[in-house]
Structure 1
Amino acid sequence: TNAIESLNAKLRRAVRARGHFPTDEAAMKLIFLVLNRTEKQWTMPAREWVMAKAQFAVLFEERFTRAFA
């Protein structure tokens, strides 16, 4: 769908602009930030976003507590 293609394009653009990543964690953090910023632009919530958000909360617990505090 167009929404998925739009999200994929944003992720590709961010990864391409960064170039390379020193660690896998750095790449995951960039993807997390892009998804977090993109979520604010959505007018309808994604169906499976709650599950994905829960996984990111486990991986980046300190960022979630700061962001929602």
Structure 2
Amino acid sequence: MIRKSIKNRKIFNHDNSAFKVVFLAIEAASKRWTMSIRNWPQAMNQFIILHEDRLKDYV
């Protein structure tokens, strides 16, 4: 999905424009994902340990 969106646009004016295309492609692809993420509770625990200050508003 990401490769397809980048392939349609051969030239990017700035790095930010390429970043935006990739971000939007990931956002569109994530809407189609239906499978749960394997080992998510363990990963989330690690994220909380490593980035406690960033996640305290969301947990």
Task: Tell me what 2:4 maps to.
Answer: 13
Give the alignment of 1:1-69 within 5 angstroms. 10-46=1-37
Using a 3 Å threshold, how does the CA distance of structure 1 residues 42 and 23 change in structure 2: closer, same or farther?
same
Gaps of 5+ in 1: 1-9, 52-69
Report the TM-score when normalising by structure 1: 0.50
Deviation at 1:32, TM superposition (A): 0.3
Quick one: higher RCO (CA 8 Å, sep 6+), 1 or 2?
A: 2
Cα RMSD after superposing both structures = 2.3
The code of the aligned residue for 1:17 comes to N
How many pairs does the alignment contain?
41
Structure 1: which 4+ aligned runs deviate by more than 6 Å? none
When Rg is computed on C-alpha atoms for both structures, the one with the higher figure is 2
Taking every aligned residue pair, what percent have the same amino acid on both sides?
32
Gaps of 5+ in 2: 48-59
Report the TM-score when normalising by structure 2: 0.58
